[in-house]
Amino acid sequence: MNTIFWAGDSTVQTNDYTTYPQCGIGQVFPLFLKEGYRVENHAKNGRSTKSFIEEGRLWAIGERIDQGDLLFIQFGHNDEKHEDPTRYTEPFSSFIENLEQFIRVAREHGAYPVLITPLERRCFDERGNLEPGFHGDYAAGMKQTAKNCQVPLVDLYRMSREMLSMAGELESRKWYMFFEEGTYAEHPERSQDNTHLRYEGAVLYGSLIARELRKLGGIYGNFIIEF
C-alpha cells in the first residue's frame, strides 16, 4: 500500500474530539484517494519548517517513508512569525533551505515530494473585500524552491484566495472556525478564528488539492478518485 506522508501545520493536522469542530486538510484527504492508498499525517499545530525539523518530525518521516510514497510539504503560517525565533524563517533564504531538506529526505528514500503553498486566512476588510493577504512571500519562496528543485507545486494559496473572494466574508465563515456562541455543544463559546478550518472547509480545500494533483497526472495524480 502506497502512503502519502504529510508535513505541515494546524491547517493540515488530524484533530481529535478535544479540538472539535476543528478539522485539518490531511484529516479528510483520504476521501479523495483510490483504494490502496493511505495518508500518514505528521502535520502538527503551530509548527514551521524550522520547528518541525528541530523537533525531529522530519526525521520521523524519514524513518517511515519508502520508495513510491509521496511527501506533501505545506508550510508558511508559522514560518512568518518573526516575533518567535524558534519558528521564524526568512521566506527567500532559510525557508527555502528548510524546504530543500524536506525534498532531500523524500528523494533519498525513493519517494516523491510535492510542495503545497499555504492556505490563506479569512482576511476581509470592513467593507467585505479580500485584503492583500498574509502569506504571499512564503508562497513565492515555495514556488522558487519548486522551480529550483524541479518539484511539482500545488498553489493552494492562490486557489484559496480565489474561493474566499468568490464566497465573500459571510459565506466563507462556514469553512473556518468562525461561529456564534452555542453553535456547538462541544465548543459552546463564540469563535472568530480566521485561520483554522471546520470539516466543510477542510473538504473544500482538500478537493482543490486533489483536482490539481489529477491535473499533474502520472505518479502525482493516479491515486486520486474521479469526481
Indicate the helix (H) or strand (E) that contains 70.
strand 70-73
Catalytic site residue 191? Answer: no
Catalytic site residue 181? Answer: yes
Catalytic site residue 212? Answer: no
Cα–Cα distance measured from residue 206 to residue 45, given in angstroms and rounded to the nearest whole number = 18
Tell me the CA distances in angstroms from 162 to 26, 52, 124, 157, 158, one per residue in order: 21, 29, 13, 9, 6
The answer to whether 21 and 186 have CB atoms below 8 angstroms apart is yes
Give the number of other CB atoms < 10 A from CB of residue 50.
21
Catalytic residue among 10, 51, 172, 191: 10
**Which residues make Cβ contacts (< 8 Å) with residue 123, sequence separation at least 6?**
130, 131, 132, 133, 134, 164, 194
Catalytic residue among 97, 131, 181, 186: 181
Cα–Cα distance measured from residue 24 to residue 8, given in angstroms and rounded to the nearest whole number = 10
Active site residues: 10, 181, 196
